[in-house]
Every structure is written in structure tokens, then in C-alpha cells.
């Protein structure tokens, strides 16, 4: 059943009762009509039982209609009530005075019933429309306030996830900044240790904006950081994070990502670029290089992508600059983009070589270019500078290639034994490393291949005065030997399950051990601190 519409209320004010009777006679069939014979009574009624419209006589004793209207318009509760003057006055100046105090209309006496009815209906309809607009405005305002509150929360999330410390490392230095745009974006950067001598760096940009993007960013960042501590291959980290996000990505958001892991001992930077802006290297001699290799599309768009990995050799004084597209796509008031060429000019021309100076120079150049123009995206910069001489320059190396045959393992152990003796590795350490070779290579040859075709296994050894690093690479099936559950060594050996003891031995012999899956190959990297 349709709800009956409430009758509008009209307040008629006139010091002549006959005039009030005329108004009531015309309007009573459509409206609830209240009356007042003077201005004071009219004000009291309006303040306590606000009518929808007021018909107001001008010429009244004690308080004329102009003063009544003025007081109505001065009060918040009554100022929006439309007021129509009823008057015998026909001078233009009188009409102007009425409009000056806030009247909506004039009706001349004697009252013409059709005109009075039409004017009342019109102004009530206008009032109803204005009320609806006001209600809509209030709704929009509340939504805007709520949105601003959410954006503030998102911004807090975004900024709270950024590192606020400077690494206490003599081998490298790092500096970063992120300038927020007018709303929450999805940019983030991070730097954190992933081992005693390795540091991870990343810059990323989530496709969307707002609180959802900030939350998406925070989840991605946490996943990536946790994975880096388990597997410090940038390729396998990007692959794993992509699969995790893409598998259940109802939001359809995606991430551009550049992640690198710097070996602070050797100056070697392993990196993966997933659809991100290519960074720049400013060498110590002032030359500039664009690291433009791409290793796969954006993160989160498509499941099952195997990301690649590149390497970059850093030398003392070399600086790497990572950035988001908020830098190159910053616009000035003429809608012109800052662009890569301007960025290259700034990097090439600046005399600053320290990370803080590089970041500040680029950011200042972007801000000067924009010249106060409002930006649509966050501006994020991160610079890393290698501060020491890489140890690889003095490392002794051994490279061995063998077929996937068990009898070839003895070739590896014999060559390593000779290498160890030549370079002063202790007999005890050499024996331990050969045990590791035997275990890892036996596993690879036994389980990595499901065909009878010949395959090659690549072994490399790097020896510095402080550390020996072994790398074993094969093109077999993906398998992380270090992900196996640790055997229970507290029970009798006859009660132990088959398998796992060899890898347990490897973990106890070596000081560091990692597995990477990159470019369709398994890479096991093991290191041992030398006494």
C-alpha cells in the first residue's frame, strides 16, 4: 500500500482577520494552514513548529513584515523557510527591500486565488527540491569525509611499512624518499638484510590507488620479505610471489617490481625486473648506464610465469637508482612529462655521488619541473651505493662441468682436492666440502632427470681469504633440497625414515646454503667460513 504523503504546513501572518480567512479558504483543502495576527506570534510559531512556507503581510503594527523576515532569516532553524510577502504595496523599491531581507516572492492584494495557489505550489516544490539537494549534499559530504578518513588510514599504512632506519654497513649506503600525491598510492620501497653479507632492495608500484591498494601493497611486501629470507634468488622470489598473488586476485590489481640482492662482499647484484621502470647505474667515473633488462611481466596478472634473473657488477663508488613512474610521468602545468631524458640529464650532470645527494637532486629537479602542478601519482626514489672494493677481484676460482653420471662425481672431488691443496684450504675443510659434493651431486644425478638424454652439471668454486663459496647448477626438475623436513636425530638410526640425512649433513657442514630456481635451472649455493 502506498504511504500517504504528509500535508505541507503554511503559516499565514496578517493583522487583518478577514485576510487570514481568505487565505485559509483558498489553501485549506491542500495544506494545513496556521495563522498569526502579528509578527511576534509568527516568530514563536516558526521557531517551535516550523512551517513549510510563510505568507507574510508587510504592514503590521509593532513589527512589520520586513523585520519579521529579517529575524527568520537570521536563525538557522528558520532561515530556509520560503517567505512570500502579501501586500497592497506596489512600489518597486518596496519589492527590492523585501528581496533584500530574504523574501522569495511577492503577491499583491487583493489576493487572486489561482495566483496564490500557483505561487504556493511553486515555492513548496522549490523548497522540496532544495531540501533534496541539501540531503544529497550531506550524503556526499559524509561519503567524502569517510573517504578522506580511509585515505588517511591508507597513507598511514603505506608510510608505516617503509623502513625508517639506515643500515649500519660499511660496504654500502642507501637513501630513499616517497612523496605522496593527493591520494593514497601503492608505491613502496624496502631494504633489508637476507644474510650476513647480502642485502635486498626493492621498489614497487601497485596499479590501483586508495586503501585497497595500500593493503594490497602491505600484503605483497610482507610476502616478498618473508620469501627473501628463505630463498634469496630474486627470480624465484618474484615467481613465488606472483603465483601466490595471481592465484586468488579478485581485485585484478597488479604490481610492477624491481628487486635486487647485493652481495656486499663481492659487489654482485642479482636482480629481477617485473614490468618496472629500468633503473640507472651511475658509475664512480660519472658515466651512466640504464639497466634495461626485463625478466617478466607485472606481478599478479598471470599465474605460472617463471621470472628470470640478471646480474650487475658494482664497484666502489657505483650508485644504483631505483624509481617509480611517478618520477618520469610527473607533469608540469603544460601537461608535459618529466620523462627519462630529463632524468638522465639530472643524473649525468649532478656532481653528487652520495646516495642522499642523488635522491635529493632528482627529487628537486622533478619538483622544479612540476612547478606546483598537482600530481596524480606518488614519487618514489631509492639509491644504493657500493662503498668498498669487491673481493671477487682477488678470489681464486675453479670451474668444472660434468655429465649427469655417478662416475663423474670422482672427477669433481679430485679436482677440488687439488685446488684446495694448491690454495691452502685445510685438509679437514677439504674433506667436508668433498662430502657435500658427493651428497648434492648424487641427489641431482639420481632424481633430477626423467629422461635418458645427456645433461650437464656445472660446478663453480670461489675462494677468498675468508670464505669458500660452492655453486652447483643443473637443468633438472625443480627441487629445493633444503625444504625437506629435518630428520629426527634423537632416535636410533634403524628407526629413521630413508632420506634426509645427507642434506642434514650438508646443512651442518656449511655455514650458508640456498636454493634458487632461475631460467629453468636449479642453483644450489653453499658457503663456508674458513678458519
Q: Can you give the pLDDT of all 531 residues of the chain as single tens digits?
A: 455 668 899 999 999 999 999 999 999 999 999 999 999 999 999 999 889 999 999 888 889 999 999 999 999 999 999 999 988 766 656 677 888 898 989 888 888 999 999 999 999 999 889 888 888 888 888 888 887 776 677 667 666 667 776 776 778 899 998 877 656 566 888 999 887 788 999 999 887 766 677 777 878 888 888 888 888 789 999 999 999 888 877 778 889 999 999 998 888 899 999 999 999 999 888 888 999 888 999 998 888 899 988 888 888 889 999 999 989 988 999 899 999 999 999 998 887 668 889 999 999 999 999 888 887 777 899 999 998 877 654 678 899 999 999 999 999 999 999 999 999 899 999 999 999 999 999 989 998 998 889 999 999 998 887 788 899 999 999 888 887 666 555 545 444 444 456 788 888 888 888 887 766 888 888 888 876
| Per-position DSSP letters for 456-522, written without gaps between them | EEEEEEEE-SSEEEEEEEE-SS---GGGSPPP-TTS-GGGSPSSSHHHHHHHHH-SEEEEEEETTEE
Q: Are 259 and 363 contained in the same domain?
A: yes
Terminal C-alpha separation, the chain: 92
* Distance of alpha carbon 528 from the chain centroid: 39
Q: What is the pLDDT of residue 97?
A: 83
Tell me if residue 144 falls in helix, strand or coil. Answer: helix
Same domain, yes or no: 218 and 313: yes
Dig out the grid coordinates for 420 from the structure: 684446495
DSSP label of 25:
H
Residue 87: beta bridge partners?
108
**CA atoms of 265 and 385, how far apart (whole Å):** 13
Q: CB neighbours of 15 closer than 8 A, spacing ≥ 6? A: 37, 38, 57, 59, 60, 61
* Cell digits of residue 63: 513589527
Q: Is residue 154 part of a domain?
A: no
State whether 287 and 233 are in the same domain. yes
Q: Are residues 269 and 371 in the same domain?
A: yes
DSSP state string for 309-332: -EEEE--TT-EEEEE-HHHHT-B-
What is the tens place of the pLDDT at every residue in 280-300?
A: 999 888 888 999 888 999 998
Q: Which pLDDT does position 488 carry in this prediction? A: 53
DSSP state of 337: B
State the DSSP code for 406: G
SS3 449: coil
Measured over the CA atoms of residue 480, residue 482, residue 486 and residue 487, the dihedral's sign is positive
Is the same domain home to 508 and 458?
yes
CA distances from 364 to 180, 287, 324, 361 (A): 15, 21, 16, 5
pTM for this model (two decimals): 0.55
Query: How many whole angstroms from its chain centre is CA 204?
Result: 8
DSSP 197: T
**Confidence at residue 187, expressed as pLDDT on a 0 to 100 scale:** 80
Residue 192, CA distances (Å) to 197, 230, 258, 485 in order: 11, 13, 14, 27
What are 225's three cell numbers?
Answer: 620479505
Question: Are β-strands 187-195 and 198-206 bridged in parallel, bridged antiparallel, or unpaired?
Answer: antiparallel
Q: Same structural domain for residues 281 and 318? A: yes
Q: Residue 446 belongs to what domain range?
A: 395-529
Q: Is residue 147 part of a domain?
A: no
Owner of C-alpha cell 486565488? 113
Question: Residue 499 belongs to a domain with what CATH number?
Answer: 3.30.565.10
Say what angle helices 427-447 and 409-422 make with each other, to 10 degrees: 160
Paired sense of beta strands 83-87 and 53-57, if any: parallel
Q: Which among 339, 359, 386 is the end of a domain? A: 386
Residues 176 and 67 in one domain: no
Q: Of the residues 386, 407, 429, which one is the last residue of a structural domain?
A: 386
Q: Are residues 298 and 172 in the same domain?
A: yes
Q: How far apart are CA 318 and CA 27, in angstroms?
A: 88
Instruction: Note whether residue 151 is domain-resident.
Output: no
The pLDDT of residue 93 is 64
What is the rounded distance in angstroms from the CA atom of residue 323 to the CA atom of residue 352?
17
Residue 373 sits in a domain whose CATH number is: 3.60.40.10
Please tell me whether residue 3 adopts helix, strand or coil conformation: coil
Max CA distance (Å), the chain: 126
Kindly state whether residue 155 falls inside one of the protein's structural domains: no
Assigned domain for 3 exists: no
Neighbours of 473 (CB within 10 A): 19
Which of 122, 120, 93, 141 shows the shortest CA–CA distance to 23?
120
Q: Give the CATH number of the domain where residue 92 resides.
A: 3.40.50.2300
Query: Which set of grid coordinates corresponds to residue 92?
Result: 518597486
Regarding whether 275 and 168 lie in a shared domain, the answer is yes
List all residues 6 or more positions away from 260 whose beta carbon is below 8 Å from its beta carbon. 200, 201, 202, 234, 269, 270, 271, 272, 312, 320, 322, 384
Q: 42 and 175 share a domain?
A: no
Amino acid at each position: 500500500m502506498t504511504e500517504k504523503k504528509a500535508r505541507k504546513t503554511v503559516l499565514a501572518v496578517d493583522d487583518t482577520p478577514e485576510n487570514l480567512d481568505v487565505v485559509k479558504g483558498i489553501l485549506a483543502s491542500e495544506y494545513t494552514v496556521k495563522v498569526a495576527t502579528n509578527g511576534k506570534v509568527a516568530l514563536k510559531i516558526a521557531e517551535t513548529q516550523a512551517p513549510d512556507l510563510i505568507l507574510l503581510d508587510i504592514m503590521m503594527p509593532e513589527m512589520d513584515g520586513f523585520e519579521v523576515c529579517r529575524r527568520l532569516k537570521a536563525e538557522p532553524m528558520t532561515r530556509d523557510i520560503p517567505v512570500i510577502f502579501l501586500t497592497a504595496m506596489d512600489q518597486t523599491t518596496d519589492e527590492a527591500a523585501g528581496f533584500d531581507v530574504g523574501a522569495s516572492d511577492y503577491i499583491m492584494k487583493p489576493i487572486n486565488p489561482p495566483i496564490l495557489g500557483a505561487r504556493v505550489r511553486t515555492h513548496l516544490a522549490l523548497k522540496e527540491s532544495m531540501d533534496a539537494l541539501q540531503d544529497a549534499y550531506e550524503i556526499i559530504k559524509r561519503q567524502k569525509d569517510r573517504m578522506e578518513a580511509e585515505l588517511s588510514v591508507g597513507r598511514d599504512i603505506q608510510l608505516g611499512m617503509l623502513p625508517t632506519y639506515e643500515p649500519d654497513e660499511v660496504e654500502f649506503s642507501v637513501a630513499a624518499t616517497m612523496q605522496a600525491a593527493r591520494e593514497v598510492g601503492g608505491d613502496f620501497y624496502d631494504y633489508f638484510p637476507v644474510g650476513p653479507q647480502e642485502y635486498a632492495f626493492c621498489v614497487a608500484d601497485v596499479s590501483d590507488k586508495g586503501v585497497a591498494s595500500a593493503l594490497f601493497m602491505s600484503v605483497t611486501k610482507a610476502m616478498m620479505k618473508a620469501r627473501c629470507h628463505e630463498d634469496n634468488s630474486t627470480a624465484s622470489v618474484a615467481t613465488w610471489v606472483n603465483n601466490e598473488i595471481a592465484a586468488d586476485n579478485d581485485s585484478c590489481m597488479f604490481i610492477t617490481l624491481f628487486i635486487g640482492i647485493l652481495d656486499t662482499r663481492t659487489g654482485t647484484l642479482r636482480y629481477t625486473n617485473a614490468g618496472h621502470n629500468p633503473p640507472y647505474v651511475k658509475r664512480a667515473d660519472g658515466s651512466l648506464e640504464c639497466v634495461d633488462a626485463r625478466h617478466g611481466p607485472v606481478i599478479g596478472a598471470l599465474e605460472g610465469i617463471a621470472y628470470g634473473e640478471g646480474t650487475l657488477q658494482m664497484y666502489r663508488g657505483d650508485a644504483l637508482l631505483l624509481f617509480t613512474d611517478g618520477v618520469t610521468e610527473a607533469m608540469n602545468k603544460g601537461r608535459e612529462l618529466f620523462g627519462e631524458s630529463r632524468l638522465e640529464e639530472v643524473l649525468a650532470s649532478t656532481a653528487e655521488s652520495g646516495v642522499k645527494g642523488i635522491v635529493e637532486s632528482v627529487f628537486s629537479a622533478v619538483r622544479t619541473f612540476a612547478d606546483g602542478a598537482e600530481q596524480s601519482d606518488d614519487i618514489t626514489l631509492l639509491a644504493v651505493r657500493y662503498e668498498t672494493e669487491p673481493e671477487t677481484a682477488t678470489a681464486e676460482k675453479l670451474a668444472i662441468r660434468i655429465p649427469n653420471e655417478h662416475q663423474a662425481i670422482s672427477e669433481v672431488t679430485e679436482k677440488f682436492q687439488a685446488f684446495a691443496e694448491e690454495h691452502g684450504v685445510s685438509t679437514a675443510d677439504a674433506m667436508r666440502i668433498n662430502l657435500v659434493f658427493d651428497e648434492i651431486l648424487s641427489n641431482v644425478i639420481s632424481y633430477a632427470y626423467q629422461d635418458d638424454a645427456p645433461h650437464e652439471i656445472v660446478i663453480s668454486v670461489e675462494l677468498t681469504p675468508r670464505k669458500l663459496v660452492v655453486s652447483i647448477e643443473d637443468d633438472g626438475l625443480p627441487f629445493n633440497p633444503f625444504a625437506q623436513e629435518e630428520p629426527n636425530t634423537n632416535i636410533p638410526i634403524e628407526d629413521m625414515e630413508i632420506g634426509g640425512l645427507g642434506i642434514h649433513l650438508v646443512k651442518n657442514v656449511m655455514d650458508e646454503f640456498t636454493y634458487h630456481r632461475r631460467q629453468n635451472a636449479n642453483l644450489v649455493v653453499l658457503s663456508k667460513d674458513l678458519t
